Amino acid sequence: MKLTIHCERGSYSSKETELTETQMGDLENLIKGVCTNGEYFKLDTPSGYVVLGAALLKSAAFVVEA
């Protein structure tokens, strides 16, 4: 699985990770919660990490590649 977040400041991709079906469902619920009520979201990337604040999350597009 690879998660890419597109927002007005750029696009950020996660490290590739293997997830079970249950974990994929949990991820979907996490993304829904972050988009509506999240204060921030930290994403580990291949070169470090990025932290997106609430304002960016409200208009971000989350792309999950399974």
pLDDT digits (tens, 9 = 90+) for 4-56: 999 999 999 999 999 999 999 999 999 999 988 999 999 999 999 999 999 99
Cβ–Cβ contacts within 10 Å for residue 33, how many? 11
> Measured between alpha carbons, how far is 21 from 24 in angstroms, rounded to an integer?
5
The pLDDT score that the predictor gives to residue 62 is 96
pLDDT for 9 equals 94
- Estimate to the nearest angstrom the gap between the alpha carbon of 29 and the chain centroid: 11
Domain ranges across the chain: 2-65
What pLDDT does residue 66 have?
86
Give residue 7's pLDDT: 96
How confident is the model at residue 24, as a pLDDT? 96
Report how far Cα 40 is from the mean position of its chain's Cα atoms.
10
